[in-house]
Each structure stands twice: as structure tokens, then as C-alpha cells.
Chain A
Amino acid sequence: MIDIVDKIILEKGKTVDAVIPILQAIQAEFNYLPEKAMQRVCETTDISPARIYGISTFYSQFRHKPVGKHIIKVCVGTACHVKGAMLVYDAFRRELNLNEDEDTDKNNLFTVDKVACLGCCTIAPVVQIDDTTFGHVEPSKVSDILEEFLDIEKNPSIKKSNLSKSKNAVEGEIRIGLGSCCVASGSSNVKMELEKSLKTNKTNVEVKQVGCVGICNQVPLLEIHKPDETPHFYTKIKAEEVNEIVRRHFKSKNLFTRLKTNALGFFDDYVLNGIPKSTQSYSSEMLDSPVSEFLDGQINIATEHRGFIKPNDLLEYKRLGGFQALKKCITQLSPEEIIESIKQSGLKGRGGGGFPSGIKWEIVKNAESEIKYVICNGDEGDPGAFMDRMLLESYPFRIIEGLMIAAYAVGATKGLFYIRAEYPLAVSRIKEALKLCQDNKLLGENILNSGFSIELKVFEGAGAFICGEETALIASVEGNRGIPSMRPPYPAEKGLWNQPTLINNTETLSLIPWIIREGAEAFAKIGSENSKGSKVFALAGKINRGGLIEVPIGISIRQIVEKIGGGIPNGKAFKAVQIGGPSGGCIPESMADIPIDFESLAEVGAMMGSGGLVVLDEDDCMVDIAKYFLSFTQDQSCGKCTFCRVGTRQMLEILNKICSGRGKLEDLEILEKLAESTKKGSLCGLGKTAPNPVISTLKYFKQEYLDHINGKCSTGKCTEMVKYFINDECIGCTKCAQECPTDAIGFKPYELHIVDDEKCIKCDICRQICPVNAVVIQ
């Protein structure tokens, strides 16, 4: 063990800022942090025991106990939460017979953990076991999933595949999305099948792996592009159908015709074990197809060449105009001209705050210092948001280019990408892209003979939402606990290592090359009066077509939900949207016509946030939503200031009390007042915005709070207040009785089943499994 640790130290360095990378490397080696290893680090580096222990217990990535052979990560992001993630989590714990204080089963095979968000919101609820992601998981299916996973384990060949490149003339091109959602939905299986099929059919078709296509809930998606033909989209492809599609498309058209006739029936399919149950196909010419509706009304700036560009193909990126903006900047424009242009464009920071980017750049530029830094903030931590992940995964060069332009404009020579650890694909894509740039002299010394030099590297976050806050991010890079500090001084004046530092959000940077290339006016033409350009949203929750969308700022919530998203599934009523994640608020359906821009959202008590947009329907309990966000923020609070550390916890406790049916009217008053003082008195943005979900739901859904106080949760989400009941519709099929994990339903075939309240743990399995919807919540 000592040898391994010493080797890691040799590689990562002995200074205090190496502490997080060292711990990450140790954990990668041992699956947890053995105390001996940590002590060895303290003996041989500048890192003190107090520091290493403070760090290892602060970041949620680090584990101090050995874990099972496989780690089950149950995503409890917003989209997963509204689709019952906690029931799934409980089901795994039950399946593995875990006691309250355990997270690993007796055989040390599985460790169960909650994660804030895996960024696969469109196929919620999502569970990741090691590297395999399962979407649309139901509590009743967890044993199947574990079995399935172990099967995959035994037969690893399923997972590894490489697409062979055809050297001959091509008959066409097949594009397959390989973003995290796509992979989670089984696109790697599809890819493997595709490869096999092309080989056996000896078809000369170019297979192109593209980044996130955006239509995340229709994935895996295959696009067939043939010369002189309109492209065809195949959604929700099954691996076993690939062969047929390939053969028909490149030889006959039979399958397409068949599918075309029955394709428009739309139902929410459950995807299990990465293999979707149904396949649908659409021609891009079909105007009313879900695909075209989804894409209609969107614009592509951050997501330029979406569904077309290959993430790590530098040549292609350059062919499509990539790095032209950089070239123009470093060879023709002065930093002042660039900053003027960014100001003219009206670009505001996309990380949530909405601070004018041009002004931020100018402050850093004007700060006098030999050394300046630029940082791309990719620590996207909002549960229910995955814009940055998708941008980093799909358009790494664009963000690199944006960061380089920023560095040139402000006079920085060093920069880094701070990317959260939960996004391994984004990390590897950026690292790969940086290397390609380096190899092609687009990075490093004297780029394009302009005299401009820049050094860029990647810093992986270690699991702390607070590190999205820029001063906390800096603390983390410097090898400290992610504790924010008071601003001023702003990082623009005194940032990383006390030097002027420009920190921009990933999406902000991804817009820069376009603005430079197409001109500030072109950008300023898009959007509303005070908010310019486009915004990427992660559309998820109770929506027919969730996914990643880029829309002009100023579009209304209703347009997004109803047009792009195709409305609410299963004929349910649209109730509200939660926008801006834990810092944002809930906007009721009645206000859905407001335009989405920084000002309008702030006015109604929400905020743009980083762009999570979770749609809620009549089945969602607003008190539960507020409680959900508070449980997130209080868990992510760094613990420095009183209001955030204790205030968010107390708010959560009050909400727990209300959701359990024990709430009193005066509790509401205390809650309201505490929300206000936490907003006023907290030190950083996390605490100042943490009360927003409470304040906005109290503002627009007060009646629901009052109902809870009167002992009623009409949606049945607050399980402590409800009972399960089987009505006369029951056909006595015993399915529920067989699946009930606590035997709360007696096994009596052909008789009306009865739920024993004493035994019932409200896991909801019976309700989900009942073929005649006879199980109801009272």
C-alpha cells in the first residue's frame, strides 16, 4: 500500500493543493481511503492530518470504509425524485437486507449510495451500478436489475465494442448519440449491434458517434443519413432491431414503411437494463413528428451542430468553423475589442447569477497582476440539471476555445476546467480534447504564432455542490474544504492564489466562439430586452419529451412545456415548473406565460439558476418538493455560517413535521420567517437562495401547506399521511400480494385483497403493479 501511495504522491506532488487529486487517486486504487494511506500522505507531504481529514470528510466522493464490490448509485436528482427515486432507494436497501446504519450487504457485493444527480433526468428514475446505468427503474424491479447486472458482469464481452472504420466509399452515414443519457439507455449495446450488423452485411456505412442529441427521452436514437435522401430518425432503438434497420435501409425500405404506419402512438416506455422495449421511427420531414416538434423553436449556439458533430474530432470542429473565433481574437483583435464585443452582445453569466460577462472580463483585465487565471466552472451540481455535462461531453473544443478567448481577453496565461467528479465522461472528453489541442499547437506556447500562450488543465471536483460557488471552488482548488468566503473581494480582483481570476460557467464559455464569429449584434438580436441570446435548459420531470433544449431567452414556460416538451404525459394536468434547481422556485401553471429571462424569473421568486427545468403535474405535492430541495441544500451546506448550517436544517425539520401531518399553523409562521432571515443573513449564494423553493411554494401554493396542517396530502406523496387501500376493482390476481416486501397483503386468490396498515411500508409497489389500478392512496 505504501508503495502505491508514494507513487501517487510522486505523480501528484507534495504541496497542499495536491490533496484532492491525491485522495482521488488513492480511492481509485483502493475503492476507499485506507487510514494508513492517508497517514502516509501526511508523513511525506506538506499536507497536515488536520487538512487531509477535514478534506476527506467534507467531499462526498470520499469513503472511509471499504465498500462492496459494486456500488449502486441511486440518483435522487429532482427529476428522479418526482418519479419516485426514494422508493427505489428503499427497495434496493430492502433487497440487500441492509440495517439502518449499513450501506453494504453481508456478502460485500453491493454498496448502496444516493447521488445528487447523474444528469440522466429524462430517463428517471436512474440507477447506476458501477458503470452500467439503468433507466426508468421501478421498485418492484430491483431484484431483476441486480440479477441482470451480475449477468453482464459474468459476460463482459457485451460491454466492449469498437466500431470498425470503413475505408471504402460509403453508402451513407449512421449517427448514434453517445451522451450519458444515450449510453444509459443502451446506446452502447445498439452501437455494438450496429458494428456487428455492418460487418455481417458488409455494408459500407460511416458510423459516427455524436454527442448528446438532446432528445434524451427518445434515446437510443439512430439517424440514417444517405446522400440525396432526407435523414431518418429511429427513436428508442432496441439492440435486436438494429440489424433489421440496417438491412432494410441500405437494401430495401420495408421496415421503414412498416414503422411509419404505426409509429406515432406515443407512450412512456420503461427502459430496463438499458434495453428499451419499443422502437419508433420518424422521417425528419414529418412535420408533426415528436422529433421535429422537439427541435422546432430551438436554436443552436451553445449546441451548434447538435447531433452532427463528433465530440473529439478536432479536424471536423475546425472544418465547421472551430477555432476561427480564437484565431481572429489572438491575431486581429485587441483584448479591449473582444471585451467590447462581449459587452455589446449583452451576454450574461449562465451559471445562475446573470452577471454581465463583459463587465466581469473587464474587471479581470483591468486588475494589475503578473499572473491571472481563467476557470471554466463545470461543477454543475443542481439536481435536475445536466446542461454543462452535455456541453462538456459533446462540444469540448467549443468550450476550450471559449476559455482561451476569455484568457486572451483578460490577460491570463493559466486556466483550468473544474468539472465535477460525477461526470467522468465529461472529464475524459475534455482531457482528450486538451491533448489534441496541445498536439496540434492550439494550446501551449505562442499559439498560431500570435505570441499568445496558455496552459490549461482539468481539476476534478470531489462531490460538493457548494464548489459551484466561485470562492468555494477556489478554496477547493487550493486544497481546502470548499468553504466560500465573503465577497468582496471578488475573484476578479483576488481569486485563485490571490491572483485576479475569471470564473465563467461552462455554458457562458460555450457561447463565446459564436459571438465572436457571428458578431455581437447577431447574438443581441436573440432574446428579450435585457437578457440576450439563448439558454440551454435541462427539461425533465412530468413531460412527454424531456431532454436538453436550447431556446431563445424570452420564450415562455408554456411554449417550452407544451410545444417543445409535448405537454404532460398520461393526460395529467400541468401544475407547475421548478426552475433554477435548489436556488430557484416553483412557478405555477397559471403564470406559465411569463417569458423566461433573468428579470422576469427573479420577479416571480424563481431564478434562471443553471437551467434545470423540472415539470410537475397534479400528482406532485408542492410541500414535498420544497422539502426535497431543502433536504438537498441542507446536505450541501458547507456549515460555515449559522443561517445556512442550522437555518436550512431547521427549515427541513419544520417541513418534515408538516409532511408528517404533525404541523401546526404557527410552524408555518416560523418557517416563513426563518426562510426570510436565512435569505438575508446567509454568507453565500447557497444559503441566500436555499429558502427560495420554500418561499415560492408558500407564495403560490399556500393552500397545500394548510391542507397538510389539516392532515391532508391530496397527492399522497407524503407517505406518513396516507394509507394504501384496495378498492372493488380488485380482481384478486395476487400480484400485489406476491410483490409486497412486507407481506402486508394477504395471499387470497380471487378475493378482494386487503392492505394491513400495520405492516404496510408504503413502498408503492402494489399500486404500480396492479393491472386494474385497484390500489389507491387515501
Chain B
Amino acid sequence: MIKLKINNISTEVPQGTSVLKAAQNLGVKIPTMCFHEGFTNHPSCMLCLVKDAQTGKLHPSCALPASENMEIITDDDEIHEARKESLELLLSDHVGDCEAPCRPSCPAFMDIPLMNRLISESKFDEALRIVKEEIALPLILGYICPAPCEKACRRTQVDEAVSICSLKKFVAYEDLERQDIYLPQKESKSNKKVAIIGTGPAGLASAFYILKYGHDCVLFDKNEEAGGTLRYDIPEEKLPNSAIDKEIEVLKKYGAEFRLNKLIDKELYQKEIKEEFDAVVIAMGNFDISNLDKFGFENDKFGLVINRDTFEVNKQGVFACGNIIRSRRMAVTSVAQGKAAAYSVHQYLNAQEPEKRHRMFNSKFGKLFEEEIKEYQKETIADQRQWLENGKIDNFTKNQAITEAKRCMHCDCRKPNSCKLRIFADEYRADRKKFLFGERKKIKKYFQHDLIVYEPEKCIKCNLCVEISALEKDTLGFTNIRRGFDVEISMPFNKSINKIFTNTAEKCASACPTGAISMK
């Protein structure tokens, strides 16, 4: 047995044990990407660097044998920096998007490509669920959203953007046509009550997610009908009241209570609201903000002053969203803010310090080179964009929607949640843009195989797939071609990828630490 210390904790391990293993035995976590038990490919990624306290030198722990009286430090500033730098180097050579460009350009961060794929498979109900994860009012937005996502859509480099907005409206419509409209499973009931002042897009959206979090929710409005600007400012020919009614109806079914014809003044606020409710969301739209002084809220020339991360105003338990904090927003922004405020409310009601909802690290590389467009077209259909006759008032037929959804080019990664590069880039707050000195590599995509897709520009050269296919004697298997920066995992003799894998394709995809090899 070998005695050593890891982070000053003494331990004993059998001869031949790696420091990584010894640390894991102690419950000390060390990040790894290329390491895979039982394989010899490592070390390559250098994420598992640890420090030998006696020499001050860094070593990859996966390949460092534990030795007598060794003293190992698994994390300090120097190690952290080195790991972060290794991630940043890998990211500089990783040409691929975690999220398709459309998604981050949507203020509500809707998972657009996934919606598209579900529609293309005729799974309209599942598509709606994905939409409602992020957008509470898809039908309404289907009429009025200016669709910034479509401006970011990569398909514009081929012909025209996918009709994302109309597809979203299509699935919303499909849902509302059904008997059992989709009402998401609520979290366990909290017996807490939230007042929402204002029933415009921000207020309605906020209500939806507050209900989803398991809280009760009452919406106040000065008008006799709910809808705020949606109903009173947008003309009927752009957004029919029937559409607003339908989505308000959904909210009601979901458990929202509406108290209308209630002009909120100081008295009402102090008595009815502060007494009865555990938290307040102010979503009064273009309300004259000078009146708000009376409530004791802080204003500036744009509107109500909030904490930009949590939407909390200068009073605990009071949150604000929508035009009241800065007017002339797109409705989709108000909807997104309503959702964000709901998230803060939920934390507040759980006695947690509200924090901004964390968005995972997103690798993005920008525009396609001319020669890359055809690579992206491999996964789509050639059909032109379909325009509805009366614009957004009309709706796609099922077949139209399916065809339109198939135009999506699947720009998002197939392993958005399991990619280790993304997970650790997120954890180490790596700066993807730090090393953008050279020209980036050109994207290629291999689709010929029945089960897997291979995207070499996402590869971190860990060589696991090469070893797996060689060990299990697959037909030909992957190989390394060239060396150094130009090394690429590829097919021997430029064979087609379906000719080189018969039995290990799936294994390679699951072992691949990034989205380079993924299941179709």
C-alpha cells in the first residue's frame, strides 16, 4: 500500500493507483473529460491537473501514479487558472454551437430547434410543452411577436429563415383546439399567495409560472377585462380579442384568480394587497410612474428601478416586470420578464436569496462560411419558406407546419446537457473568446451512418473513439490523421463513416465527451 496526502488528508491506496482514483476514493472531485476507466487514451485534455505540493509542479492526475509520501493539492488558484486556460484553449478550437443562434436571440430563450424537430415528427403536443417551458402566451405572441429569432436563424444564409413564430402559434393553436389543453404539472402546493398587479403580457406570464411553482395567484387590473395593452392598445386586426381570451381562459383553468375593475391606489395596496399576499409582482405596463412614488418605490426616468438580476424593487418581496420598468418593449420581452420575476418570487417565497436564473455556458461561433452552408443543408430540406396569405393572422395547416419545421437546420448541439466541455466551461466560467487569434476551422458534418452523426470540429482529440473501435475490432474504426493542431479523428483511407463502424458506433457516441459523436 502507498501512503499519500490529498488536500492534507492522509490516505492509502494500492500500488499503481492513479492520483485521480485516490482522490475519488476520498470523495475529492477532480474534473475530467478525456478520462475513461479502463482505457489508455488519457491524459489529453489536461483538465484533471493537480499540484504536487513538494515540487509545485502540475500533473494530470489521471495518469499520475500515487507514490509514497506524495502530497497532492487538487484545487488552488494556480490549478484553477490552468484548468480554465485548458478549457479556453479547447473552446478556441471548438467550432459548434451549444444552442442554435435563434434560441439566445429569443428574449424568452425558447428551445426553438427542439420545437421544430417535434413538429416535424408530428408531435405537436410535445412541441407545445417545450414552448410552454419558456413562453406562457404562445398564441398571443404568435400574432404579434417581431420574431428576433428569425433574424438570427442560420437558414437565412441559405434562403429565408424558418417561420419560427408561426410554428409556435401553430402548436399553441393545436393545443387550444383539444379538449384537454396542456396544463403543466404544478410543484407541490406552498400555500403562499402572490398578487400580480396588471394583466398585460408580463403579468399574465408571471402568473403562469407562479402557479406552476405551486403558489396561489391573484391578478388585479383596473380595466373590466384582463389583457392590458394586448387588449386595449393593439388593434383587433393584428391581435383578435378571441386569442387573448383563449389564453386567459387557460390561465383560469390553471388556477389564476382575476380581480378586475380594481384601480390600485395606495390604500388598496396597503390594505388589501400587503395584508393578504406574501409577495407582489407589479406589471402595470405604461402606468404613470409618478404615481408610484406614493407607494414608496424608487423610480428613474425609464420607470421603476429594479435589481436587474432579480427584478426586485427596493422593497422586499415586491418585484416588477414589463413596461413598468422600461417601456416600449417587445411583448416577448415582457413575457420573458414575467417568467423571470416568477422565478425570483418563487425563491423569495422559499426563503432563499433571489438569484438570476443561470443560463448554461453557450459556445457560439457566428456566421457560417460559404462552404459550410452545404454541410448544414445535409440535415434539412430544400423547400422554400412558406408565407401565410394574411400574414400572422393565418395559421399553418398540419402539413405546412411539418414541412416548415423540417427546414430547420439543427444548429443546436445534440448533447447540450451531457457535453463535458460545456459543463466544465460553465463551471470554470471559461471565456470562449479569449483565444480567437487564428482563423477558425471549417465545419464538416458526417451523416452517412445510420446511428451516429460525426462533427469533427467539436472534437477535443481525446482518442476514446479511436481506442474503442480498435479494441473491439470494428470494421475499420476511427484513426488519427496528421498531427499537432491539424490532427483530426477521421476515417482511414477517407472511407465513408458507415463503412468503418458496425459494432461500436453507439459506444463511441456515448463515450465521446463532447457533441462530436452523437446519436442521430
Contacts and interface: CB of A to CB of B under 8 A. Distances in A.
A420 to B, nearest CB: 16
Contacts of B480: 54, 57-58, 481, 639
Interface stretch (B40-48, B159-167, B217-225, B384-392): B40-48
Interface in B462-486: 463, 466, 469-470, 476-486
A464 B483 contact: yes
Given A481-B483, A488-B65, 11 more contacts: A48-B476, A54-B492, A466-B483, A486-B60, A486-B64, A636-B484, A637-B483, A638-B487, A639-B484, A646-B485, A656-B437
Contacts of A39: 493
Given A51-B479, A488-B65, A639 B485 contact: yes
Interface of B: 43-46, 49, 57-60, 63-65, 67, 78, 81-82, 85-86, 89-90, 92-93, 434-435, 437-438, 460-461, 463, 466, 469-470, 476-487, 492-493
A38 interface: yes
B85 A674 contact: yes
A645 B89 CA distance: 9
B89 A650 contact: yes
Interface string A472-510: 000000000100011011000000000000000000000
Interface in A103-151: none
A325 interface: no
Interface in A219-263: none
Nearest to B65: A488
A407 interface: no
A35 interface: yes
Interface in A734-766: none
Interface of A: 35, 38-39, 48-54, 57-58, 464, 466, 481, 485-486, 488-489, 634-643, 645-650, 653-654, 656-657, 667, 670, 673-674, 677, 680-683
Given A650-B92, A677-B85, A681-B86, A643 B483 contact: no
B482 A646 contact: no
A94 to B, nearest CB: 24
A677 B479 contact: no
A53 B492 contact: yes
A695 to B, nearest CB: 16
Question: Which 7 interchain pairs have the tightest Cβ spacing?
Answer: A653-B437, A639-B487, A50-B479, A49-B492, A637-B484, A53-B492, A486-B63
7 contacts: A49-B476, A52-B492, A638-B483, A640-B44, A646-B93, A656-B437, A681-B85
Contact of B46 (A49, A635, A642): A642
B483 A681 contact: no
Contacts of A682: 46
Contact of B466 (A49, A50, A649): A50
Contacts of A641: 43-46, 60
Nearest to A647: B89
B462 to A, nearest CB: 10
B82 A50 contact: no
A635 B481 CA distance: 14
Given A50-B466, A50-B477, A54-B481, A681 B93 contact: no
Contacts, number: 140
A399 B85 CA distance: 44
Residue of B57, B437, B466, B483 with most chain A CB atoms under a 10 A cut-off: B483
Nearest to A488: B65
A571 B86 CA distance: 47
Contacts of A57: 480-483
Contacts of A657: 437
A683 B43 contact: yes
A643 B86 contact: yes
A48 B472 CA distance: 13
Contact of B485 (A49, A52, A634): A634
Nearest to A644: B484
A659 B399 CA distance: 58
Contacts of B93: 646, 649
Contact of A681 (B49, B65, B463): B49
A689 to B, nearest CB: 14
Contacts of B461: 639-640, 645
A466 B483 CA distance: 11
A773 B97 CA distance: 55
B470 A50 contact: yes
Contacts of A634: 484-485
Contacts of B92: 646, 650
B124 to A, nearest CB: 44
A49 B435 contact: no
A491 B413 CA distance: 42
Nearest to B64: A486
Contacts of B463: 640
B516 to A, nearest CB: 15
Contacts of B58: 680-681
B2 to A, nearest CB: 13
Contacts of B81: 677
Residue of B60, B463, B478, B486 with most chain A CB atoms under a 10 A cut-off: B486
A673 B85 contact: yes
A683 B479 contact: no
Contact of B437 (A49, A650, A680, A681): A650
Nearest to A485: B63
A649 B46 contact: no
Contacts of B63: 485-486
Contacts of B470: 48, 50
A681 B82 contact: yes
A231 to B, nearest CB: 49
Contacts of B49: 681
Contacts of A49: 476, 479, 492-493
A638 B487 CA distance: 8
Contacts of B434: 670
Nearest to A38: B493
A130 to B, nearest CB: 26
Contacts of B469: 50
A363 to B, nearest CB: 15
A642 B463 CA distance: 12
A489 B64 CA distance: 9
B89 A643 contact: yes
B438 A649 contact: yes
A640 B45 CA distance: 8
Contact of A643 (B46, B59, B64, B486): B46
Nearest to B49: A681
B484 A53 contact: no
